[in-house]
Amino acid sequence: MMAKQHLLPIDEQPERYQTLALVMTVSTAYLPLARYLNWRVTAFVALVLLLRFAAVRWPAAAPGRWLLLTLTFVGVANCLLANHTLIGKVGGTSLLATMLALKLLELRARRDHRISAIALCFVVVVQFLFDQSMGLTLYLGGIAFMIVALLVDLNGGMGSNPIRRAMPVVLRISLQALPLTVVLFALFPRLTSPLWSLGFDQDRATMGMSESMEPGSISELVINGDLAFRARFDQRPPRSDQLYWRGLVLWEVDNRKWSPGRAGQYQPADPELTQAAERIDYEIVLEPSQQRWMFSLDLPIEHPPNTVLSGDFQLLSDRPITTAKRYRLTSALDFRTAVPVEAEQRYALRLPANTSARMHAIVKEWQLETDSDWALVQKGLDFFNREEFHYTLLPPKLGANPWDEFLFETRSGFCEHYAGSFAVLMRIAGLPSRVVLGYLGGEPNRIGGYHLIWQSDAHAWVEVLIAGRGWVRVDPTSAVAPSRVDNRGASRLLGAYTPARFHIDSSGVLSIAIRQLRLLADSIDAAWQRSILDYSAAEQTRLLDRLGLADYGEFALAGIMVTAVTVVMGLILVGLIRQPDAIDPATHCFALLCRRLAAVGLVRHAHEGPLDFAARVAVARPDFAPRVNAITDLYIRGRYMPNPTAADIQSLSRLVKAFVPTKQRRSFSDTKRRKYFA
């Protein structure tokens, strides 16, 4: 009967620590998702997890069948209310996280724990749809490690200190999987677009610069402080005052804002330059924006594939940028554009309906005092420098006529105030003008050898058509006297690095150290982006070129992958076959006892159990009986009883080491004893 009990499977009743470990692992895995999912979903998941934690301490708190069914309906309805859908990236992830949390409320047997742990793997994987940074990868790698350790422990046999005993097993499994992971990463065919891009997430919120400009729009973006893109130059980087990163071009102005104008007004065209000197080559890694517009150093003269360069030098992607995009460009720092067509010039002279008499009067005064278009532009810049204009991120609210109120009343604002009002003044003067949105400057990262351009570097400037020179860049914000720049307001509001044009920085030792650590972390993240996330089909093609198999294309790639996987799996299999069987401490001690008894002629038969062998030893050598029986009892408790104690194993090891049997002197019974042990 006792032998049959030993053959039964491990009890399906889980340990309390296993339930607690599973709930804690689920809670930890959900944390990165909280910033991407609706707060209602996070609140519901948090309440369910708190209820599950309470049930671990007080089992009576676990909900019954009907309450659990009610919570399930409430959870699904909450996902619909929060996302208006149960499919797509956000909707599907919300439903998956909700269902996993509810599954924790019905944990009964180890089977439920295993199912929940496997479902948690899907929650871990789905997070890479939102973020693929190195930090998140390491974080989720730790979660995956804990899931495997939990599954190893749930499958039993760990005895005392189960977590500590499970860790070497998990580490061995991970090391065995590592070569196969590397092979599949390098050789598995890359797709041209994400597999999950099924069109369900068209209503996702955009991040970054918007397609229009009105007072307050860019200053709100600057406070954001996120990374916009990285730029790496092939030559020596330009000066900071030359780093005008061109983005959107705005032609249309109404009573409050500037916008690109009528759709299709300007067809894609090759850049028309009459002069392009000081050319510079560089690479940009643009963060996802869910928009088509891209950024380039003013002024781009060559553009990458799958993009268009419009007649106003605006760079556009052929599809919305949903993942980090790497592209190369060539720009000219010293340039002169061609004269635009007459229709384009007329369009760049259209005025809003609310231009005031004061605005016309001051422009008329400038025209009387100047004799050229460029002199009139300088007169406008002198106006911003001479009068009491202030640069601030906390400007007063403007009414129905923001351009007039800013110029003659508040005189406090950010770059959109200066660029928007200056362009209107130039149009009143009869000079075709347009507004350009982009970024100015950037933070050099000398550790990584590139520049960081933050949302806090967002900027707006003006381009004015000057006879004989084409479109000329004019930055009215830079005309503000440095003494009238509100550094304290900017430092209080900015979320990241402050605009390079005003050099608001701290020179403290702690600030420098923190900044260097941040740059080091960003250099590591950039290397991760370049080496791992940007590994594409083009990289695989170059790999085939180096191997001389480019003509065979995907067939060669598939053949190499199958061969490499076969070799790796074969090596792992050989290693597993040659690996000696693990022996538990109790078995090791009893085997040592048997070897020592065999040395004095007491050999154990293959079919003989430990109790039968001990009885036979006691008959042959009564002087061995007390110690052999004690060792055998400890061996049976340590080998066959559940959860043996460390004290029993230590006592067994001590008794075996101390037992050194000696041969008995020959007597008339030796022949009988040899027959008995034969």
Tokens of 189: 């065919």
Q: Which residue in 123, 113, 134 sits closest to 21, CA to CA? A: 113
- Distance of alpha carbon 19 from its chain centroid, rounded? 29
The Cα–Cα gap between 135 and 525 comes to 8
Q: Does residue 161 sit within a domain?
A: no
Domain that holds residue 68: 11-156
Three-class secondary structure assignment of 40-98:
HHHHHHHHHHHHHHHHHHCHHHCCCHHHHHHHHHHHHHHHHHHHCCCCHHHHHHHHHHH
Residues in the chain: 678
Do 610 and 571 share a structural domain? no
Q: Which residue in 115, 177, 113 sits closest to 145, CA to CA? A: 177
Q: What is the mean pLDDT of each run of 10 residues along the chain (678 residues)?
A: 38 76 93 92 93 87 87 92 87 92 88 91 90 87 89 69 72 83 78 49 50 69 76 91 92 88 53 84 90 90 86 88 88 89 89 91 93 92 90 82 90 89 94 93 88 88 92 90 61 40 54 76 78 73 76 76 84 75 78 88 88 90 90 86 78 88 63 51
Do 235 and 112 share a structural domain? no
Q: For the chain, how many structural domains are there in total?
A: 4
Distance linking the first and last C-alpha atoms of the chain: 30
The Cα–Cα gap between 337 and 274 comes to 6
- Considering the candidates 153, 201, 312, 415, report the single residue annotated as catalytic: 415
User: Kind of pairing, strands 390-391 and 244-250?
Assistant: unpaired
Q: Are 366 and 429 in contact (CB under 8 A)?
A: yes
Q: Which residue in 138, 177, 173, 139 sits closest to 155, CA to CA? A: 173
Do 591 and 480 share a structural domain? no
Asked which of 466, 493, 520 is the last residue of a domain, the reply is 493
Q: Does residue 478 sit within a domain?
A: yes
Q: Which residue in 250, 245, 243 sits closest to 312, CA to CA? A: 250
- Active site annotation includes 6: no
Do 128 and 249 share a structural domain? no
Do 222 and 144 share a structural domain? no
Do 554 and 601 share a structural domain? no
Around 339, how many Cα atoms within 13 Å sit in the side-chain half-sphere?
4
Residue 473 confidence (pLDDT): 94
The Cα–Cα gap between 299 and 273 comes to 10
User: Kind of pairing, strands 433-440 and 325-337?
Assistant: unpaired
Do 98 and 20 share a structural domain? yes
The three-class DSSP label of residue 245 is strand
φ/ψ of residue 235, rounded to 5: -105, -170
Three-class secondary structure assignment of 130-196:
CCCCHHHHHHHHHHHHHHHHHHHHHCCCCCCCHHHHHHHHHHHHHHHHHHHHHHHHHHCCCCCCCCC
Do 405 and 278 share a structural domain? yes
- Show the CA angle centred on residue 149, arms to residues 146 and 151, nearest 5°: 110
User: Quick one: DSSP state of residue 388?
Assistant: T
> Could you tell me which residues are beta bridge partners of residue 227?
454
- Considering the candidates 404, 459, 522, 589, report the single residue annotated as catalytic: 459
pTM of the model: 0.65
Do 120 and 41 share a structural domain? yes
Q: Does residue 506 sit within a domain?
A: no
Tokens of 631: 């060792």
Q: Does residue 508 sit within a domain?
A: no
Do 599 and 474 share a structural domain? no
- Active site annotation includes 605: no
Tokens of 627: 């110690």
- Considering the candidates 475, 486, 522, 589, report the single residue annotated as catalytic: 475
Asked which of 578, 609, 642 is the last residue of a domain, the reply is 578
The Cα–Cα gap between 629 and 614 comes to 6
Please give the C-alpha separations between residue 582 and each of 50, 171, 586, 604, 616, in angstroms, as whole numbers.
41, 16, 12, 22, 29
Three-class secondary structure assignment of 272-305:
CEEEEEEEEEEEEEECCCCCCECCEECCEEECCC
Q: Does residue 443 sit within a domain?
A: yes
Q: Does residue 565 sit within a domain?
A: yes
The Cα–Cα gap between 129 and 216 comes to 32
DSSP per residue, 567-596: HHHHHHHHHHHHSPPP--HHHHHHHHHHHH
Asked which of 493, 526, 557 is the last residue of a domain, the reply is 493
Q: Does residue 594 sit within a domain?
A: yes
Q: Are 341 and 335 in contact (CB under 8 A)?
A: no
Q: Does residue 89 sit within a domain?
A: yes
Do 410 and 338 share a structural domain? yes
- Active site annotation includes 451: no
The Cα–Cα gap between 503 and 514 comes to 17
Neighbouring CB atoms inside 10 A of 656's CB total 20
Do 569 and 472 share a structural domain? no
